[in-house]
Structure 1
Amino acid sequence: MPQSHHRSTVPAMPTQRRFSALPRASALALACSAVLAFSAQAQQAQSADAGKAPAQETAKTLDKVEVIGIRRSIATSVETKNEATSIVEAVSAEDIGKLPDISIADSISRLPGLTMQRVDGRGQVIHIRGMSEQFAGTLLNGREQVSTGDSRGVEFDQYPAELINAVTVYKTPDASLIGQGLSGTVDMQTVRPLDFKERKIVVGAQGERNSFGKLTDGGKHTGYRLSASYIDQFANDTIGLAIGAARLNAPFQEKHYKSWWWANTSLWGAPQGAKPDDAIALQGAEAWVKSRDATRDGVMAVLEFKPNDTWHSVLDAYHSKFDQSEWMRGAMWTNDPWWNNGAVTYTSANTTNYNGTPVVTSGTLSGIRPVVRNDNNLRNDTLSAFGWNTEYKTGPFTVTADLSYSRAEREQSMLETYAGMTTGLNVDFRIPLSAGYAWYGLPDLSAPASVKLGDPQGWGHDGRLEDSRQVDTLKAFRLSLNHALDSSFLSSYDIGYNFSRRSKDKHADVYFADLPGRTPVAVDPSLLQSPTDLGFAGMGSVLTFDPRALLSRYYNVHLSETNDDLQKDYRIEEDIGTFYAKANIDTTLGERVNLRGNVGFQYIHTNQKSNGVGITPTGPAAVSGVGASYNDFLPSINLVFDFNNGWNLRVGAAKEQMRPRINDMGAYANVGVSVGNGVAQWSGSGGNPRLEPFRAKAFDISVEKYFGPASYVALAAFYKDLESYVYTSTIPWDFSGYEFDTPTPPQSNIGTFSAPANGQGGYMRGVEFSTSLGGELLHPALEGFGLLLNGSYTESSIDPDGPGGSSTDTIPGLSKIVANATVFYEKNGFSARVSERFRDPYRGEYSYIFGQRSYRYTRSERTIDMQVGYDFPQTSRLHGLSLLLQVNNLNNEPFTTQVSDSNGLGLMFPEEYTEYGRQYLLGVRYSF
């Protein structure tokens, strides 16, 4: 297999170590991975040579043995980990554009210390070392990427797995790595055509099906995936071309139930009929089904030119378009004692003892008026990334220039409509106190004569439409110099400068849809679709229609924006200049230890500003040009002590920083003047354009033992001292520029402002264990079997609510225990793999009502995936053809959350319970 080409935009890894008692993990080592070495005789021979001075390794050329599939992927990943000077984890494609999982997020989340957060049933964002996606940097071919989300966290479902050849996750900083994160840095890599010595064409097709079938009209439960790639070399292998395309048409299905909030309202002077005065009760609920159709088209192209050893130029481009249509049908209601003047009451209530407190779990509710929801959400994402890297060598000097451009655009339209009965209902119910669906004996809510369009919950409108658009753009230029040294201590040094300009614009319009006279009206039966079944939650069927088809026929639509809606509009601009220098170490300590690594620093100058909308007593006002400028000096050191017998000791230390969340930096504000004792003072709340980064000191250590090209064991520990964390706090604020009439004008422009602000941090610390083992290491009869296993434990002293906040909250993304296990078999063309991913409970960050962000206590998850495949051998006329069956979420693991009671008793109750079904994929792949 050809060696991967390391671009100058990422830290280079040494291509050869001068002292090594193990075979190099090169083409020879990969060939040898077919018969994983380290028999008992090899172990004895290594022990016998332990006292001898290492000598330059010699090896005779062997016949080529092509290693493909799972073992090839593992061997390449282990090589990357072994050769790196930083502490890294890696995943490599089994073949061109064939990552070992259904998605990039799935593949990355199996690495030690990493996990993913499921969003809408699919892996979307990655958590590294117990920190949410906002703390991770994401690169494509070594260049920072923008995000289609509302902050910095990259959504990996934008990148087709078929177009990505490898992923490296840096856990320790490197001075020459631009766009690093605080928790880690994910670098996705596409192929380099000149790494291949011959033309390569690969085509693939898969059919996809969801086990739930079709849950509601408008959605589908079947889909497909198509991909094709072409790699070729021209002009005596001086020009290389790679082109890839991938199309995803995937169905996603969802069965959802949610408890709204739990409380004993009698303690607040609001009893409810037969409910016991000492009992806690659920105050509202919802159930729905969702059907999503996602279509993603992605293309990748790489043009590589290397006419000689002096000049090397690479131009790469990536583009994807992601379209999603989502249909949601369901029912929801509130039954708290304040709704509709206490219209809802209990006519019977049975309680269950729950941790010493009675909780209503069954009975009869009287007077509820469920709202039947028919929603349609449209999302269109476009992502583009272009880069041009040119490298010129002259003598010991290498000069590299790199230009890049990344742009992400999201257009979203969220429409919700309401219907229901005009009278209250008496409903029997059963509610579990553990994760699961509840049961409500609702009448038929699909009858058009009794279920009419309207506003049964009294929300003040009969429908709501929000259209939003955001654009994230990043332009960057980098110039660097590497000087190779003839030294017994330093192999080279690097210096460079990178300048980037990023802007993120967001705009939203909110409309209300009202029926004429706000009078309920029945839907024309000719516009109705098949009723949607909510029987899984005991709610029967609900009225079903296409809400967009009804919008112009039944509703008057008008712009209606609250102050919160107006403040969704903002623009953030960042200019960041990074100067870096790094010395690369390659020396020996005595006769038995090779020392390699680097020591360096980054000096970062940041200039940021924001525009937004300020809400004042005299109306909305534009706020522009508010920002800050600051500098960071970030030293780093990475050392690898190679003991020449497969043992490596790695140590790293660095200062790190992570830019704050973009949506926290908006110049949106609510501004007023308060008067106390005759003194007027400015006050307000909103975003903080002057927000500075999260900053930390980090220390890492890793002990690794390599048994061969695809087998190793590693134990690592890390400690991060976060000197600064961002909390919502009341801080002094300069209100210069806010002008409006007030009876008593403030004498000073300085007032108080509640906003995200830099405050006291704390520690993050953890340990990680990982191993990759071939069955041959245990017994020859186990040849072909293998095991990948890793686990991590992470803890933190940081309270995300700030010092003195809640003792139960944890920072977003922190699961104390994360573990992954994969058992595989690969031999004679047949392959099989079963993987399990586990993560402890954590505080997840999700999109909430009206596009706001919310934190929710997400319960532990254990998901199982499997793959079975067959590659036809070279002796077959079907050589090059592969068959593959994949099942994702084999155990149909539900997504579950919990919520605390509202009386402050510290009790945790079930909140959301959602199932997504199993995802089946069956396909073929042909390579020639």
Structure 2
Amino acid sequence: MILKRNLLVMALASAGLTVAFGVQAATGDNGAQAAPGTSQQSSTASTNNGSGGTSQTTTNSKSQQALAKSLSTVTVTGFSSSVEKSIDYQRYADTIQNVVTAADIGGLPDQSIADALTRLPGVSAERIAGQASQINCRGLSGNFIETTLDGREQPSTSGSNYIQFDQYPSELINMATVYKSSQASLIEGGVGCTIAMQTANPLENPKDQSLNVDARGSYDGQAHDIVGDHAMGYRASVAYQGKFLDNTLGIGIGVAQLYQPHVSEQFVGEAFGGLQSLNPNNPNSAQAYVPEGIQLQQDGGTERRTGYLSTVVWKPTDHLQITGDMYYSKFDNDYYGYGFRSQNFYGNNAIITNPIIGAGNTLLGGTVSTNPNQSNVQFANETTADNYSTNTGVFSGGLNLKWNSGPWHVESDLSLSHAESNEINVDTTADAYTGLGTADPKLMNQSVTYALNGLNVGSATVSNPGVYTNPNDMALSRYGVYPYIYHDRYRAFRTAVQYDLESNPIFTDIQAGIYLNNHTFEANRTVWVYGSEWNSYPVAGEPPLPLSSADTQQVCWKGKFSGLPCFLKLNTSAILAQYGIHPNPQLDLDNNSWSGIQSGTVHEKVRDVFLMGDIDTTLWNHELTGNIGLRVSHTSQGSSGIQEVEPGQGVPMTDGFGYVANDFIPINVGMSYTKWLPSMNLIYHWTDNDQTRFSIAKVLSRPPIDSMLAGAGSYITNGQYNVWGGTSPLLRPLTAMQYDLDYEHYFDNSSGLFTAGVFVKHIDTFVQTNVTYNNFNFASVGITVPNNPATGQPYLNGSYTTAYNAQGSMIRGLELSFQKTHFLPGIWSGLGFGANYAFTQSPFGAVSTLGGPAQVQALPGLSRNVASAQVFFDNGLFSANLTGNYRSKFVSDSQIAVTNQIVYFAPEMVWDLQTAYNVTKNVSLLFQVLNLTNQPTRTYFGNSSETGTIQYFGRTLYAGFNIKI
């Protein structure tokens, strides 16, 4: 009998591999085609909250029983409990996954769930404004990560696919699972990984009634260096769980608020242009790659995040459970920036003397002066006043039903999720003028002497510093408002059925289910502009606005930035009001047609079915568990927007300023595709404490939603019709075959683990935006070429700037993890240690010229080395936790100068510390330090001498208390 079962299992594994490769070869697209060209590790899809994890149904019942039995033996409390629960979750998982758990709803010590996730192997974060926000996983950016809350896909506030995890307070998240391998019951979308966040089920609370109150004040000393900023803040949360009606009704309510200063000081070196003469008036002068300019900026303001959670669970019988829950998070970031900017070093705008030339013939410093032979002077030293205030909100809620009777298990979930983001994005500049108050004011002749300093703050001095702090010499040249408004909505339904097989020699159960999801994304761009930068191209009736001492304040730098030029802080609203000017951003189809072209709607309709079987059998006298299955996903996608045509050939459209445009037509373009996604997970149990995992799956991530907008502008050159936009609704999804092999050893009594694993991902395609094709056949993508009035015939095909599916690549990596508790006797038994390391590499390369000479840059989001280490002590009375997170350099487009720029992020190591003392069993005192060493974010271009951004955020100190009743 054992021999027959072994043969069956080997045949099953062989069939799984055959199906995986066979389906990959058979998969195709339907429709039109695009243009060529704080805790540790864990487990199962078990549900803590009654509303489901990412998995659409329960998992292997035998694994669930073993997990429940193991968790019931955990007797320690506090952070040690969280560690040991995480170890057990991973041990009994059917897939390769890691987990962070909380001892209770307020148990995670982190500012957001993003901080906790970075302590897992292969998981890292991009720090935006000093906070962990976008998660990278296994060398892939957030656009390749699927994220759910209580089993429901989460909408995004980023304007793209990636989730901004600082939107989720850690106090309201009970557990987060990172799925490294896939299974058929998982909602597709995570080529990098899938992150499933879960909230608590009040019926599983060990107490009939519990109340958790947490309050702590915060202090960031660097805020004192920023004009108008405040150093103090706070973080507070209240969570209640109760069980009623004989433990058949559970109610959970949670509120968490974070209020803190927005703190950032930055020295910015902008991208390099082409090779040019340093003296445009002398053709024999030296040549170099010259940057656009430099920026010096203080960013301040306040951040307020408030999260709300409510859960009602009704379990009238042992067979039926109904859950209704709602999560809402609102994040208001009142973010301003004041500073000094030197711009337009390149072209014929300036003469450069005393140059400092770096490797690759790039200009790293020198004296930049006004070119007296330039008629429209554009080189200038400017005072800047920016406003990037953003208001975001995320709602996720639904109704979940579970029914169990004998071998039958049914789960259904109906949900609605919505996100909105509104960034005001104000860009203001003031310049030094002669002839203010006359009919023809002129930009002053100016100069700046600067030097980049690699990964440290550079230097800059101006020839006449008093000019830039004297309101009588300065005037407001331009005030521009460019809002970004996004709406992201999901309406979904999923249901799954599981039937347990009691006597089958291989399978413990069979599962099947469906998933329906309608996804809508809206982008709305508006604009309002007064004047022109540097007044180089004066706008009639919009002259520079002279300043007054009542509307300005002199600001000088402190600390690491001391010695940089002082500047004027502008009260822009008062300046505009003084001249009777009132900004009113609207859709502008006349002077700023891009506001209509970049607006539009994207629709995705997903229709999935899956079939999966859980495995529990014997192979060569050892237990073999896991699952095998197939998911079939059908997607219809389309986008509506406007396309620019010749004047008079469009449909009349009225913009927000009352202008009637006749050079645009509405367009609606789309396609559909079906993907077959097989998967198999096998766990071979050598002993009770040792096991090997093997996984193979085909996985899918949809294109970034903002890259699928249909809007396009056009222009005519030499009888050719040219189209620009940089996006396309005909993008195909990213699919990959991925393979995982892990070895895992677990120490006795859940006291630790050691794991080692390797993975390979073969990704078929990557999306590239803003790619230009010449002599393009527009009819092939549904674009109508207008007629040439001179000939009566369509214009010739010209260039097409769009997005397309470029050739894919391979990613491979190694992940190691070690965790140990209770390895010392006596009072030191509460000491624990954990460490993770991940090595990831890919041959992928993209050419960039932002650093001067052409260079090949790696896959965005990929750090070759990612590591974390954690030392903690917990004896029930006192606990301390010191954590360090390291990632090596990586590429990202997160640097914002005048536009987003692709740069290298330098290696960084961030340390956090938390301590707690239990005054009584109900009251504890807390102390935290985040970013213990004030680690800055450093970016650069071609090499580390070519400064991108040097940005300091300060360290944040927290002190407070926690009450548990």
- TM-score scaled to structure 1, two decimals? 0.87
Amino acid at match of 1:231: Q
Which position in structure 2 is the counterpart of 1:437? 458
Inter-CA distance 670–417: structure 2 relative to 1 (3 Å threshold): closer
Label 1:520 to 1:537 Cα distance change in 2 as closer, same or farther (>3 A).
farther
Aligned to 1:10: 54
* Distance in structure 1 (CA, Å) of the matches to 2:306 and 2:274: 51
Give the deviation of 1:860 after TM superposition: 1.1
1:711 aligns to 2:752 (yes or no)? yes
Can you list the C-alpha shifts for 1:852-904, whole angstroms capped at 9, x where unaligned? 654222111111111111123xxxxx32111111111111111111113xxxx
The equivalent residue for 1:539 is 564
Matches within 5 A, 1:716-735: 716-728=757-769, 729=771, 730=773, 732-734=777-779
Q: Which residue of 2 aligns with 1:133?
A: 142
Instruction: Tell me by how many angstroms 1:212 deviates.
Output: 0.5
Label 1:510 to 1:497 Cα distance change in 2 as closer, same or farther (>3 A): same
Q: Whole-Å Cα distance in 2 between the matches of residues 601 and 801 of structure 1?
A: 38
Shift of 1:5: 5.8
Specify the alignment match of 2:954 in structure 1: 917
- Residue from 501, 521, 526 that aligns with 1:509: 526
Residue 27 of structure 1 and its aligned partner are, at CA, apart by 1.5
1:733 shift after superposition: 4.1
Kindly indicate whether residue 512 of structure 2 is the aligned counterpart of residue 495 of structure 1. yes
Given that residues 202 and 926 in structure 1 are in contact (C-alpha distance below 8 angstroms), is that contact kept between their aligned partners in structure 2?
yes
Give the SS at the match of 2:706.
helix
1:481 corresponds to which residue? 497
Contact 1:9 1:177 in 2 (8 A): no
2:122/2:137 contact within 8 Å kept:
yes
**Alpha-carbon contact 2:125-2:135 (below 8 Å) kept:** yes
CA RMSD of aligned residues (A): 3.0
Mapping of 1:90-109 within 5 angstroms? 90-109=99-118
Question: Is the contact between residue 787 and residue 793 of structure 2 (CA under 8 Å) also seen in structure 1?
Answer: no
Secondary structure of the corresponding residue to residue 115 of structure 2: helix
1:531, CA displacement in angstroms?
2.9
Structure 2 residue 882 is the aligned partner of structure 1 residue 837: no
1:699 aligns with 2:739: yes
Could you give the per-residue CA deviations for residues 200-222 of structure 1, whole angstroms, max 9, x where no partner exists? Answer: 10001110111213344443221
Q: 1-side partners of 2:314 and 2:382: how far apart? A: 62
Structure 1 counterpart SS, 2:219: strand
Name the CA shift for 1:311/1:250 in 2 (closer, same or farther; >3 Å).
Answer: same
1:450 deviation in Å?
3.5
**SS in structure 2 of the partner of residue 106 of structure 1:** helix
- TM-score normalised by L of structure 2: 0.84
The equivalent residue for 2:642 is 613
Structure 1 residue identity aligned to 2:264: E
Contact 1:768 1:790 in 2 (8 A): yes
- Cα distance change on mapping 1:521 and 1:116 into 2, 3 Å: same
What is the alpha-carbon distance in structure 1 between the residues aligned to residue 625 and residue 940 of structure 2? 48
Shift in Å, 1:186: 0.3
Q: What secondary structure does 2:155 align onto?
A: coil
d(CA) in 1 for partners of 2:838, 2:281: 48
**Cα distance in 2 for residues equivalent to 1:706 and 1:748:** 70
The answer (yes or no) to whether the contact 1:830–1:870 under 8 Å persists in 2 is yes
The question of 1:754 aligning with 2:775 is answered: no
Return the alpha-carbon distance in structure 2 between the equivalents of residues 292 and 313 of structure 1. 43
Deviation at 1:912, TM superposition (A): 1.2
Distance 1:371 1:134, change over 3 A: same
For 1:226, which of 221, 232, 236 is the aligned residue? 236
Task: Show CA shifts across 1:522-580 (max 9, x none).
Answer: 33333334635367163242111332333333364576643333322010001100101
CA spacing shift, 1:510–1:534, aligned 2, 3 Å: farther
- Checking the alignment, whether the CA contact within 8 Å between 2:556 and 2:566 is kept in structure 1 is yes
Find the partner of 2:630 among 590, 601, 604.
601
The answer to whether the aligner puts 1:325 opposite 2:360 as a matched pair is no
What's the offset of the Cα at 1:738?
Answer: 3.0
Within a 5 Å distance, the mapping from 1:75-224 to structure 2 comes to 75-198=84-207, 199-224=209-234
Looking at structure 1, the residues matched to 64 and 485 of structure 2 have their Cα atoms a distance apart, in angstroms, of: 55
Match of 1:583 in 2: 613
SS of residue in 2 equivalent to 1:382:
strand
The corresponding residue for 1:633 is 676
The CA deviation string for residues 100-123 of structure 1, in whole angstroms up to 9 with x for no partner, is 322211110110000000111111
Contact 1:173/1:180 (<8 A) preserved: no
Deviation at 1:339, TM superposition (A): 5.1
Deviation of the 1:780 alpha carbon: 6.1
Report the counterpart of residue 377 of structure 1 in structure 2: 388
Conservation of the 8 A alpha-carbon contact between 1:681 and 1:751: yes
Return closer, same or farther for 1:716/1:245 CA change in 2, 3 Å cut-off. Answer: same
Q: Distance in 2 between matches of 1:19 and 1:319?
A: 33
Q: Where does the alignment leave 5 or more consecutive residues of structure 2 unmatched? A: 1-45, 372-378, 434-443, 532-538, 648-661
Q: Distance in 1 between matches of 2:153 and 2:474?
A: 51
- Higher mean C-alpha deviation, range 863-872 or range 145-154: 863-872
Relative distance call for 1:364 and 1:374 in structure 2 (3 A) is closer
| CA 545–750 in structure 1, closer or farther in 2 if over 3 Å, else same | closer
Q: Percent identity of the aligned residues?
A: 26
Task: State the distance in 2 between where 1:853 and 1:786 align.
Answer: 43
Cross-structure match for 1:59: none
Deviations 1:567-615 (A, max 9, x none): 2201000110010111011122344x22111100111111111011212
Equivalent residues of 1:136, 1:184 under 8 A apart: yes
The counterpart of 2:813, out of the listed 754, 763, 766, is 766
Q: Is the 8 A contact 2:764 2:807 kept in 1?
A: yes
Offset of 1:707 from its aligned partner?
0.3
SS at match of 1:212: helix
Provide the rounded CA distance (Å) in 2 between the counterparts of 1:621 and 1:211: 53
Q: Is the 8 A contact 2:669 2:782 kept in 1?
A: no
Give 1:387's aligned amino acid.
G
CA distance in 2, matches of 1:580, 1:841: 39
* Corresponding position: 1:564 with 2:573: no
Partner Cα separation in structure 2 for residue 83 and residue 370 of structure 1? 62
Residue of 519, 523, 527 corresponding to 2:547: 523
Q: Is the contact made by 2:290 and 2:345 (CA closer than 8 Å) also made in structure 1?
A: no
User: How many Å separate the matches in 2 of 1:391 and 1:753?
Assistant: 52
What residue is the counterpart of 1:50 in the other structure? none
Letter in 2 for 1:608: Q
Aligned CA distance change for structure 1 residues 572 and 745 (closer, same or farther; 3 Å)? farther
Q: What amino acid maps onto 1:594 in structure 2?
A: E
Determine if contact 1:215/1:533 at 8 Å carries over to the other structure: yes
Q: Distance in 1 between matches of 2:777 and 2:551?
A: 57
Secondary structure at 1:549 match in 2: helix
CA deviation profile, 1:335-355 (whole Å, cap 9, x unmatched): 525354x4x443xx2647x45
Alignment coverage as a number of residue pairs? 860
For 2:425 and 2:68, locate their aligned partners in 1 and report how far apart those are by CA, in whole Å: 58
| C-alpha contact 1:264 1:277 (8 A) present in aligned 2 | no
Shift in Å, 1:436? 2.5
Change (3 A) 1:585 1:732: farther
SS of the residue aligned with 1:761?
strand
Shift of 1:377: 2.7
- Superposition deviation, residue 366 in structure 1: 6.5
Partner Cα separation in structure 1 for residue 798 and residue 285 of structure 2: 48
Report deviation, 1:418. Answer: 1.7
Distance 1:374 1:278, change over 3 A: closer
**What residue number does 2:484 align with?**
468
Structure 2: which amino acid aligns with 1:406? S
Cα offset, 1:277, TM superposition: 2.1
Structure 2 residue identity aligned to 1:880? N
For residue 644 of structure 2, give the secondary structure of its aligned residue in structure 1: strand
Q: Describe the SS at the equivalent of 1:636.
A: strand
Structure 2 distance, partners of 1:554, 1:6, is: 60
- 1:27 matched residue in structure 2: 72
1:476/1:711 Cα in 2 relative to 1: closer, same or farther (>3 Å)?
same
